[in-house]
Each structure stands twice: as structure tokens, then as C-alpha cells.
Structure 1
Amino acid sequence: MPAVILAFSAGLWLVVLTPAAAQTADQGEAVFSAKCAACHTIGGGTLVGPDLDGVSTRRDTAWLTRWIAEPDLMLEEGDPIAVDMLAEFNDIPMPNLSLTDLEVASLVAYMDAQSGAAPGVDPDPVQPVAGPIQPNAATGKSLFEGSNRFDNGGPACLACHSIAGIGALGGGALGPDLTGAYGKFGEAGMASILATTPFETMSPIFDDHPLTDEEQVHLSLFLSQAAVSKRTAASVGQLALLGMAGAAFLLLGMQFLWRRRLREVRRPMVARSRARIERFKQAEDERRGSTPGTEGR
């Protein structure tokens, strides 16, 4: 009888546990698609971050759970695995996605399930759209600069980024210079970034104003050409001239303000000197007037 009870209990445990585990893995797949697929694949190759195929067998569950939950703190603490991965993947840190405990657990369960699953068809990384779209670097440049507006109303790339080949001033400074971005991320990585805009400063802007497939293709080609270009001597000369002009303007402004300040300082000094001279003359006149006989002698 005890054996029967034990078998019944074990069967009941499996019936209860298996659907829950499957549900958690399904939830993890949804979270992965929404928040992880921009930088990672599972069996599809490296994008911005590593391929996560078999990650559950390579990393301890506790380490993986904490890394998903708070990668920024682990990097700050100098975790050796985290530091090595940062160096391996172009010093691009994994952002803290502010996931709930349930989302973290579901992601771990999903990756466990994928690691133990039979090999299947590898998911394709995000690629520039093929077909009738013909990439055009000039169109990509105009989109980057803002002379050609994005269809969904997003801001021009130039507002936050600079890049070679777009004039002397080069663009904004909020985001990084994108001259070498294509060389760093590669074709698949750049396509993924343009399609999903995964970075923390980009997501709030482009989640509601995504780039169209055509815009992604044009921008990708423009960025690929910028990756092998350099700022021209003419643009460097223009920057130097602008710097010299700014310095000259600053010096002239300082001279004007200084001269005005000197006038303001000199004016009361001159007035006081003249007042002293006038008082001295009056005192002399009074002294001479009080002794008229002295001049007659």
C-alpha cells in the first residue's frame, strides 16, 4: 500500500508540475521575443550579443538567473565571466531590462527547454528585407540627416549621432559616433538594431515610431559605406576655421567687455580727481582772498 500511495503521489506531482513548467517556458518564449531577440538568438548565430544555444549547460542556473536580472550590478562588481563577455562583444554591456522575478524565471525555464530540445531549424537572424526594395545609400544619408523624414515620425539620426561624410559639424553628441558601427556589429547585427532599436535611449523614442523596412535597408547601406570612410581634409579644415573664428569672436567680445569695464572704473576715478583739484583751487583762492595785503607788499 505505501508503494501505491507513493506512486500515485509521484504521478500527481508530474501531472501538476509538467503543465506549470511548460507554461513558464511558454511565457519565457514571449519575453525572449519581446526583450531579448534584438540582440540574441538561440541557435541562429551571434548578433549584438552571444548565441544562447546551450547556455543553460554552460552557465550555472544561479549565475544565469542573476545575470538576466541585474547584469549592470554584476559588471560593476567585476564578475569575471561578465567582464570577459563584455570584452568579447565590443564593450557593449547588456542593459538591465528591469524584468520581474517571474519573467526572469520564465526566461531561464525557456532557455532550459531550448537547451534540452532536439535540434530543429535554426531561427533566422533579422536580415535586411529582400525583394523589390533596392538599397540606396543617398536615401539612407538623407534619412540620417533628416532632409528626408521617417515615415512613422521618428527623429533624424543626426539629432543624437555623428558620422563621417555629413559635413563639418558632424551631428549630435547624445549618442555615439556611428562611423564604425557597421564594422562593429556586422550586417546581421546592424539589421537587428535597426529593426528593433534595443538600446535604452532609443527604445522610448522608436517603440512608437519604428523604422519601415525600406528605411532600415537604406540606412544599413549608408552606414556600411560610412564604416570605411573618414572625415575629409576639407571638413577638418572647416572645423579648424570654425574653431579659429570662434576663438577670435571670443577674444573680441572679451576686449569689448574689458574696455567697457575700464571706462566704468576710470570715470569715477577721474571725477574724484577733478573734484580734488577744484577743492584745491577753491582753497587757494580763499587763502589768497583772506590775505590781500601780502600781495601789495
Structure 2
Amino acid sequence: MRKRFYQALAAVAAAALTAGLAFSAFAQPPVQEGQQVFQQKCVGCHTIGQGDRVGPDLKGVTQRRDRSWLEQWISAPDQMIARGDPIATELLNKYKTPMPNLGLSRDQVLAVISYIDAVTTGQAQAPTAASLNLPAGDPVRGKNLFTGVERFQNGGPACLACHSVAGIGALGGGLLGPDLTGVVDRYGGPQGVAAFVSNPATPVMSSVWPLKPLTPQELADVVAFLQQASVGERPFQLVWQLAALAVVGTAVLAGVATVYWHERLAGGLRRRWLRAHSR
């Protein structure tokens, strides 16, 4: 009886061990998965040990921040900013660019945290942003591509549909995405912008651009235009453009008001004259 019991116990243990080995053979280690997610979604804005980029250097962040806070921040940064989380507000004020919601699953979030911790402690290799060999860019053509005057070869939408930037007029630009004035400096140079556009992390861009990528020349031209659109251009240009629009708008409203009240006064005088002469 006892012999059969031990035989059954051994069989169960062997089955459990076999199942565990089979699962581990197919399951991806969290650090490895985290490295892949970080390379796809985070490397455009962050480094781990190479200094700040668009966002902060993440080396040691697993020691600086509470684990629960990190999970919430990576999962839904937009919600934390909206409800005024003190740390989220501090980061936004410092880096000026809000972290987008990347649409990561909980497992992906935990894997990214494990990877950051592994790099911080020297147990994993730090991520590297892809280096792109771009041709010389033409800022004039880049502006045409940005505004939609010239279509992208693979059918992608004009940048103007979602973004604004200095140099395209007072009323130009969409509001879905951030203003791109000074984006080249924020991303650490043309290579940083090119790397982000080539492999965008945000849900909206990642749903469009991988399917309709820019050609190397188009990418170079758009980046050249963004580089040329300096921060100093916007205030000077917009003051005069908006002033002109205000003058035109005031003139139009004054004209409409004049016609309206002229008709009202003329109609009132006619009615009084008719009443006076009908008696």
C-alpha cells in the first residue's frame, strides 16, 4: 500500500516537473519581454543610464519610486496627470512633454519594470536607440509634406492633421497631437526624431505609420523642416498674423452690424410713417 502511494506521488511530481519545464520552455522570461517592449515603446524618449532624453533617464527609478506608483504610471500616465498626481505633475513641469498612454498590458508593465531594474543592477544590457542613415533633408519639401501640399508616397496622413508647428500660419495645425515646435531639441537631435517617427510608441501613431511608413527621403525632409521651425519663429509671426485676422474679423463684424441696424432703423421709420399717414 505504502509502495503504491510513493509510486503515485512520484508520478504526480514527475508530471508537475514535466509541465513546469514545458511551460518554461515556451514562457518568455520577464526581463527579456521587458527589453523587447522597452525597445519598441520606450527607447524613443528614455535611456537607462545614458542621461535624459525627452523624458528622464530611468536608471535607478525602481529604487527611487514606489513599485505601485510605477505600475500605475506606466499603465496610465494620462490618468495620473489628469487627476493631479504630485509626481506626475512635477515630471510634466520639468520635461514639458506628457508621457502618452502606451496601451501596455499588466504583464508588459511588470516586464518593463523588471528590465529597468535588471539594467540598473547590471544584469541586463542597456537599450540603444536605432541609428538611421538619412539622406540630406530638404526643409521646403518637408513643409509641403507636413502640411499635405505633397502626399506621402505610402499614403500616410499629413502631419498637419494632428500636429501644429511654427511656420505654418496662425490657424494651421491639428490639436490631437502635441505642438512640434522645438521637437528636434527635445528628442536630442534629428536622429532622435527620426527614430521615434520610424518606430512610434503612441497608440495613434503606432496604428498608422508602421503600415504606411515614410521613405528615408521623406523622413529626412520632414525632420529638416522641423529642425528649421525654431521656437523663436512662432511668437513674432503669430502676433502679426493674429493681429491681421483680428482686424479683418472686426471689419466683417462691423459691416454685418451696420447692415443689420440700417435695416432695422429703416424698417422702423417706414412703419412709423405708414401709421402716421394711415389715420
- Shorter-chain TM-score: what band? 0.7 to 0.9
Partner secondary structure for residue 72 of structure 1 = helix
Partner secondary structure for residue 57 of structure 2 = coil
**Partner Cα distance (1:65, 1:228) in 2:** 35
Which residue does the alignment assign to 2:56? 50
The two structures, once aligned, show a CA RMSD in angstroms of: 3.6
Partner secondary structure for residue 29 of structure 2 = helix
**Partner Cα distance (2:41, 2:276) in 1:** 79
Bigger radius of gyration, 1 or 2?
1
Q: How far did residue 45 of structure 1 move?
A: 4.3
**Partner Cα distance (2:224, 2:210) in 1:** 22
Partner secondary structure for residue 134 of structure 1 = coil
**Partner Cα distance (1:234, 1:46) in 2:** 31
2:83 pairs with 1:60: no
- Residue deviations 1:83-135 (CA, integer Å, cap 9, x gap): 33223322x22223343323322323333333344464x443244x326x222
**Partner Cα distance (2:271, 2:210) in 1:** 64
Aligned equivalent of 1:36, options 42, 46, 58 = 42
Q: How far did residue 225 of structure 1 move?
A: 1.8
Which residue does the alignment assign to 2:143? 141
Which residue does the alignment assign to 1:24? 30
Which residue does the alignment assign to 2:265? 262
Contact persistence 2:165–2:229 (CA under 8 A): yes
Which residue does the alignment assign to 1:70? 76
Q: Please, which moves more after superposition, 232-241 or 250-259?
A: 232-241
TM-score after normalising by structure 2: 0.73
Contact persistence 1:126–1:191 (CA under 8 A): no
Which residue does the alignment assign to 1:172? 173
- Residue deviations 1:52-86 (CA, integer Å, cap 9, x gap): 33433333322322222232343345444333322
Flag structure 1 segments of 5+ consecutive residues without an equivalent: 1-8, 278-297
Which residue does the alignment assign to 1:218? 221
Which residue does the alignment assign to 1:252? 255
Percent identity of the aligned residues?
41
TM-score after normalising by structure 1: 0.70
2:116 pairs with 1:103: no
**Partner Cα distance (2:85, 2:235) in 1:** 42
**Partner Cα distance (1:218, 1:266) in 2:** 65
Residue 273 and residue 256 in structure 1: after superposition, are their counterparts in 2 closer, same or farther (change >3 A)? Answer: same
Partner secondary structure for residue 166 of structure 2 = coil
Matches within 5 A, 1:122-161: 122-127=126-131, 129-130=132-133, 133-161=135-163
Residue 103 and residue 205 in structure 1: after superposition, are their counterparts in 2 closer, same or farther (change >3 A)? Answer: same
Report how many aligned residue pairs link the two structures. Answer: 261
Which residue does the alignment assign to 1:240? 243
2:84 pairs with 1:82: no
**Partner Cα distance (2:119, 2:43) in 1:** 14
